[in-house]
């Protein structure tokens, strides 16, 4: 009887060890999956960019307007990276014209999808909006309205916002008072207007009406 009790106790101990090992393996797998998925969704989907941009190839010239110093930028500037979650976005920019209407180029906003290693994404992007800025000094921000990126960036993908500013360099001397130029701009904002609707179960639906 003593031998049988010892055998049963040994079998129970082995079963407990196997169950503990299985639990540890499942916990480790869950932890790895959770940590592995976190970085992509931890990336911001919105942003306000003022001051020095992340990546820039622009030529800047000081410009005084609305009793403040702005910069006339010429070239491409990248802002990001941002995460596209499948909804609509809106772009806002603090922009002022630097010349009369007959001398104005638009300020172009382009989307570049993918990862930009060492700021190597400068180049033509998908144009989603353009503006000439605003003459008002009360509210210097201009809004794009709703923009969909679903044909440009895959849902859950990374993208950069590129601002393209144009300026015609004078060739005569003395230079003319005005040259063809895009608006001067400072702060750029990207906001989400909508996000994809997550599926809910029937129990959650019933709870809404209780």
Give CA–CA dist 170/151, Å, rounded.
39
Return averaged pLDDT per consecutive 10 residues of the chain, 210 residues in all. 55 57 47 43 82 67 75 84 94 90 92 73 85 87 95 93 86 76 90 67 51
User: Residue 172's pLDDT is what?
Assistant: 73
User: Residue 120's pLDDT is what?
Assistant: 64
> In sequence order, which ranges of the chain are alpha helices (DSSP H)?
2-42, 202-208
Q: Nearest-CA neighbor of 99 among 130, 135, 54, 45?
A: 135
Return the CATH fold of 47-192.
Jelly Rolls (2.60.120)
Which tokens belong to 99? Answer: 């010349």
Q: Which helix (H) or strand (E) holds 89?
A: strand 88-96
Nearby residues of 116 by Cβ (< 8 Å), 6 or more positions away? 55, 78, 80, 81, 160
b/e sequence 118-141, b meaning 16+ C-beta within 10 Å: eeebbeebeebbebbbbeeeeebe
User: Residue 7's pLDDT is what?
Assistant: 53
Give CA–CA dist 202/206, Å, rounded.
6
Q: Beta strands 158-165 and 68-83: pairing type?
A: antiparallel
Which tokens belong to 185? Answer: 């701009």
Decide if 55 contacts 77 (C-beta within 8 A): yes
């Amino acid at each position: 009887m003593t031998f049988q009790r010892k055998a049963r106790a040994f079998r129970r101990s082995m079963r407990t060890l196997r169950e503990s090992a299985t639990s540890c393996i499942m916990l480790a797998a869950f932890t790895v999956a959770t940590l592995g998925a976190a970085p992509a969704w931890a990336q911001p989907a919105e942003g306000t960019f003022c001051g020095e941009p992340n990546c820039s190839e622009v030529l800047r010239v000081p410009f005084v307007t609305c009793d403040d110093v702005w910069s006339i930028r010429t070239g491409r500037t990248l802002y990001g990276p941002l995460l596209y979650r499948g909804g609509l976005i809106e772009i806002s920019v603090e922009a002022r014209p630097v010349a009369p209407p007959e001398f104005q180029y638009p300020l172009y906003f382009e989307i570049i999808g993918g990862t930009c290693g060492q700021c190597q994404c400068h180049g033509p992007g998908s144009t989603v909006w353009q503006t000439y800025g605003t003459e008002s000094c009360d509210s210097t921000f201009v809004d794009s309205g709703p923009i969909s990126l679903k044909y440009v960036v895959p849902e859950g993908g990374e993208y950069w916002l590129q601002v393209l500013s144009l300026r015609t360099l004078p060739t005569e001397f003395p230079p003319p008072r005005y040259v063809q130029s895009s608006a001067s701009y400072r702060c750029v904002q990207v906001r989400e207007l909508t996000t994809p609707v997550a599926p809910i179960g029937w129990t959650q639906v019933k709870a809404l009406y209780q």
